[in-house]
Amino acid sequence: MMERTNIQAEVEQRFRQFMLAHQMRQTSERFAILRAVYDIDGTFTIEELEQTMQNRRFHVSRGTLYLTTQLLVQANLLIRHPFSSSSAVFERIIDDRPRSYQICSNCHRITRIKSKELASSLESYHPRSFSISHRIVYVYGFCASCQRQMRKVLKENNQTKTDKI
Ligand SMILES: [Zn+2]
């Protein structure tokens, strides 16, 4: 694992090259957002990123945040997770190790799956005509607390039925 300062320097370099290639303006705002994104460990929403920027006394509009995160996704420096929650969920791409997540379809809670078997089978997947930039797997279902909640509701419903009889 690279040290934080090395990672920051490398991603800044990659972002710079991306903007050069696309003839975009290299503003200090964009780099400040990139630094904030790479300081956030794990997943985050635009609202949380805005909070991080505010904590750093760096004011940027919501529009700039949306646009810059979009650019970072295009530059392959950020993942936008296809979660079905109300706001978009992002995560930095810190290395090329495979990632897997389980997502609760009810409360949208996201947890990382730490399975060596899953990781190694993802790593060994090498399609011939597709160039892979990152490997991610999503597993959907219901988290423990939602399962408990559902069992409770089910039990209560059964209870009411028996009470009536
Ligand atoms: Zn849940």
For 12-58, the pLDDT digits (tens) are 999 999 999 999 999 999 999 999 999 998 889 999 999 999 999 99
Sequence letter at residue 160: T
- DSSP type of residue 83: -
pLDDT at residue 164 above 70?
no
Domain count, the chain: 2
Are 88 and 114 in the same domain?
Answer: no
From ligand 1's centre to the CA of 148, what distance in Å?
Answer: 9
Confidence (pTM): 0.77
Give residue 141's domain range.
97-165
Percent of the chain's residues with pLDDT above 70: 94
CA of 133 to the centre of ligand 1 (A): 30
**Mean pLDDT confidence for 77-87:** 81
Distance 85 CA to ligand 1 centre (A): 12
Residues 135, 79 share a domain: no
Distance CA 20, CA 25 (A): 8
* Domain stop point among 95, 118, 148: 95
Q: Say if residues 54 and 33 touch (Cβ distance below 8 Å).
A: no
Among 95, 117, 132, where does a domain finish? 95
Is residue 59 within 8 A of residue 50, CB to CB? The reply is no
Question: Are 7 and 70 contained in the same domain?
Answer: yes
Residue 1 pLDDT > 60: no
Q: Are residues 4 and 56 in the same domain?
A: yes
Q: pLDDT tens digits for 137-147?
A: 999 999 999 99
pLDDT of residue 86: 74
Distance 120 CA to ligand 1 centre (A): 27
48 plus 125 within the same structural domain: no
